[in-house]
Every structure is written in structure tokens, then in C-alpha cells.
Amino acid sequence: MKITSVETFLVPPRWLFCRIGTDEGLVGWGEPIVEGRAATVRAAVGELSELLVGTDPLRIEDHWQVLTKGAFYRGGPILSSAVAGIDQALWDIAGKARDAPVHELLGGPVRERARVYSWVGGDEPAEIEDAVRAQVEAGFTAVKMNGCGRLPTLASPAEVDAVVRRVAAAREVLGPHRDLAVDFHGRVSLANARRILPLLEPLAPMFVEEPLLPDEQHLLPQVLSASTVPIATGERLYSRWDFRPVFEHGIAVAQPDLSHAGGISEVRRIGAMAEVHGVALAPHCPLGPIALAASLQIAFSTPNFLIQEQSLGIHYNTGNELLDYLVDPSIFEFVDGQVRRPRRPGLGIEVDEEAVRRADERGHAWRSPVWRHDDGSFAEW
Ligand SMILES: [Mg+2]
């Protein structure tokens, strides 16, 4: 079998899909995307496709090595995400070629159902209570919320209190038998994190995510020593090498993104490395259906998997939803906050190619918002 084509599609609301065609008619789909940089990743996939067309798609590991390291310069979000989407598509082809779901090729299933969580929005405690209640009524047993909006380097007592009250509002609705994850989104300085985390301890978050920016990992020990709250990070780390220091610092939860961290091949390895350090795997995925399908293949083949993020109804999905580009969306049917093991070959989804080609004609120009503090200076989003 030989690869004959590598195409990309700019798909609303903010995604990029990749389709790898072969001379035997098998097709693989991937989602190479950095949110807000879709066109840049598209260019990277285009360049990398020179190394793919005419070659055997089943030599996945060799492709991963060459795509990742073959240009001398390596790593970072753009290249690692381009490789990630290609890698997903190659695994999709490999599964279809062997008439098996990808997780069967990764050693077989280690569970029959995988737990997922939903996002809740809202700024005021009353809004948060309503949003959490809706997810509980939909059957979810875990939700994630942002801990705060903009925060100055040293937050005021009122700003600190607002974070605690929002988290307390969510916990009140969830009760003690459901889980609450809190995303700090790299918005919280070291000093703020050290002050806020102990105050969240009585509210027992499942984890607090990205208390620091990815380039501040050397400060993690100071965050970790401030409280017993489990710390999660990893959506902006792109390889085993990026994860090594945070594992050694003692995070509790690793959150590689299947569309950023080198795809199924590399997240599989990051998961194994996490296991060595007693760390659970909770792949990041506020993205589209192919990234989620790839995430689930990892969920069903990874013993230290904890929970899967998914973007159904997420605030980013304006105009288009997770299920819009699938022929049969039942793979993402969540029952009691869990998803069943997918049984179809490859990634387990059938992409509605006509809908994807139509969507690409519209395209999108989604960008991350640029936030500013009251004095006009840049603020982390
Ligand atoms: Mg996050």
C-alpha cells in the first residue's frame, strides 16, 4: 500500500482536518490543529506531505521519527501538531487495513467504558450552579470550570475570594460523589497559586490544571508544596521530553493533547512514562471529532487513564458542533458520564467527507482572544 495524497480542510468552528489517501482506496483522517493557528499548521502538514506521498502508510513509527526529527529543527506546537494529525490518520489507515479498532493494535482494551467530563461556563456563582446542575442532569459525574478570568500578579482579597466562591458554588451542586476540575489556564501567578490552592483544599477538586504557564515548569515544586490539591498540566507540552520535568516534579495528572503532542504514537508513550511516575492520564481535547476519536483509542488502551475531556456544547463551538462532520455520531453517546468502547475499525468514526469539503469552502479564522488588564497591559487568557 502507498500513500497517494495528503489533503487538509479548514473546518469551522476552529478545526483543521487531514485526509490521507492510499492506492488501495483506504483513507485515514486526522486532526492536526493548534487552536488559532490552523493555517500555519496547514502549511506545516503541506510541507511534511512531501515525506509521505509514495510511501507505505503502515510504517507509522518510521514516519513519526522522520516527520518529527527529519528537518533538523524539531518540537514546538506547530510541528508537533502537524505530526499529531498525520499520525492519527496513519493509525486510522492501519486499523482499517487490519479491520480492527486502533486500541486493538495497541494491546487490546483495558476497559469497556471511559469516563468523560463536560465543561461548565459562567462567571457568577449562580450561573455556575445552573451550568453544573444541567451537566449533572445530563448524567455527567465530573465537570471542569475555569477558576478565574484575568488576575493581576498579586490578586486582591476580593479576587481571591471570588475564585473560592465560584468553586464552592460548583461543589455545592456536585456534592461529594461527583468530581470537579478547575482550570487556572496559566492565568494565575506563582504567588496567587500558592495563596489560592490551600483555600480550595476543603472543596476537594479532582485536580487544578495549569497553575503555571508551560515555560514556568521550574516553579512547579513551589506550587506543589503549597497544598495537597492534585496538579494537572500538559496541554501545552508536546513530547515525552517536554513532560519529563513535570513528571519528576510530581504532578498528579498529565494532559497531553492527541492533536498537539505527536498523536497516538507519542501520547501512548507519554502515558507509559506517566505510569512510571504514578501519574494519571487525562488527555486534553476541547477540539473536534477526530481528535476525540483518537483520544478514546488511548483511553481504551491505557491502564493509567483517568478521564477524557470532550467538547460537546463547549463555549468555543459556535455555529458548528462536535457531531456535525460524522456519518454516525453514536460513537460519542455519553451514558452516565461514560462512553462505550468503540468497535469500528481505525479511529472508529466515519467522517462525512462531503460535509467536510463543503465546510472547507467556508473555512474559518478563529483566534484566541487577546486580554488586557485594566491598565492596558497584556493579560494571559
Ligand atoms: Mg486547560
For 134-149, the pLDDT digits (tens) are 999 999 999 999 999 9
* Residue 359 located in a structural domain: no
Q: What is the pLDDT along the chain (381 residues), one digit of tens a residue?
A: 999 999 999 999 999 999 999 999 999 999 999 999 999 999 999 999 999 999 999 999 999 999 999 989 999 999 999 999 999 999 999 999 999 999 999 999 999 999 999 999 887 889 999 999 999 999 999 999 999 999 999 999 999 999 999 999 999 999 999 999 999 999 999 999 999 999 999 999 999 999 999 999 999 999 999 999 999 999 999 999 999 999 999 999 999 999 999 999 999 999 999 999 999 999 999 999 999 999 999 999 999 999 999 988 776 666 667 888 999 988 899 999 999 999 999 999 999 999 999 999 999 999 999 999 999 999 999
* Sign of the dihedral defined by the CA atoms of residues 259, 263, 267, 270, in that order: negative
Using the 3D structure, point to which of 74, 100, 126 is the last residue of a domain.
100
**Residue 183 alpha carbon to ligand 1 centre in Å:** 5
Cell numbers placing 276: 512510571
* Residue 365 located in a structural domain: no
In DSSP terms, 348 is beta-bridged to none
**Residue 24 alpha carbon to ligand 1 centre in Å:** 40
What is the DSSP-derived secondary structure letter of residue 364? -
Tell me: do 90 and 159 sit in the same domain.
no
CATH number at residue 22: 3.30.390.10
- Helix 263-276 vs helix 60-69: angle between axes, to the nearest 10 degrees? 90
Q: Are 89 and 351 in contact (CB under 8 A)?
A: no
**Residue 177 alpha carbon to ligand 1 centre in Å:** 23
Tell me: do 269 and 188 sit in the same domain.
yes
Is 249 noted as a catalytic residue in this protein? no
**Residue 57 alpha carbon to ligand 1 centre in Å:** 33
Residue type, 303: P
Tell me: do 243 and 337 sit in the same domain.
yes
CATH number at residue 282: 3.20.20.120
List C-alpha distances in Å: 296 to 92, 240, 346.
13, 20, 11
Tell me: do 139 and 92 sit in the same domain.
no
Cell numbers placing 79: 510541528
Query: How many angstroms from the chain centroid is the CA of residue 72?
Result: 27
Which one of the listed residues 284, 315, 364, 373 is annotated catalytic?
284
Q: Are 351 and 325 in contact (CB under 8 A)?
A: yes
**Residue 187 alpha carbon to ligand 1 centre in Å:** 10
Tell me: do 159 and 92 sit in the same domain.
no
**Residue 186 alpha carbon to ligand 1 centre in Å:** 8
Cα–Cα distance, 7 to 136 (Å, whole number): 40
* Residue 80 located in a structural domain: yes
pLDDT of residue 162: 96
Tell me: do 304 and 191 sit in the same domain.
yes
Tell me: do 18 and 139 sit in the same domain.
no
- Asked whether the bond before 198 is cis by omega within 30 degrees of 0, the reply is no
Rounded to 5°, angle at Cα 318 from 182 and 130: 45
pLDDT of residue 125: 87
Q: Are 345 and 376 in contact (CB under 8 A)?
A: no
**Residue 354 alpha carbon to ligand 1 centre in Å:** 32
**Residue 144 alpha carbon to ligand 1 centre in Å:** 9
* Residue 38 located in a structural domain: yes
> Residue written as cell 460519542?
332
**Residue 368 alpha carbon to ligand 1 centre in Å:** 13
pLDDT of residue 178: 98
* Residue 197 located in a structural domain: yes
pLDDT of residue 85: 98
Cell numbers placing 136: 449533572
Tell me: do 343 and 214 sit in the same domain.
yes
The boundaries of the domain holding residue 79 are: 3-100
Cα–Cα distance, 216 to 307 (Å, whole number): 25
Longest dimension (CA), the chain: 64
* Residue 381 located in a structural domain: no
Tell me: do 130 and 17 sit in the same domain.
no
Which one of the listed residues 185, 218, 277, 315 is annotated catalytic?
185
In DSSP terms, 223 is beta-bridged to none
Tell me: do 219 and 202 sit in the same domain.
yes
- Helix 76-97 vs helix 263-276: angle between axes, to the nearest 10 degrees? 100
Number of domains forming the structure of the chain: 2
pLDDT of residue 312: 82
Using the 3D structure, point to which of 100, 115, 144 is the last residue of a domain.
100
* Residue 367 located in a structural domain: no
* Residue 237 located in a structural domain: yes
**Residue 147 alpha carbon to ligand 1 centre in Å:** 10
Cα–Cα distance, 29 to 142 (Å, whole number): 29
Tell me: do 63 and 144 sit in the same domain.
no
Cell numbers placing 312: 460537546
pLDDT tens across 6-48, in order?
999 999 999 999 999 999 999 999 999 999 999 999 999 999 9
> Residue written as cell 497559586?
193
Tell me: do 287 and 147 sit in the same domain.
yes
Is 277 noted as a catalytic residue in this protein? no
Cα–Cα distance, 31 to 29 (Å, whole number): 7
Using the 3D structure, point to which of 100, 116, 139 is the last residue of a domain.
100
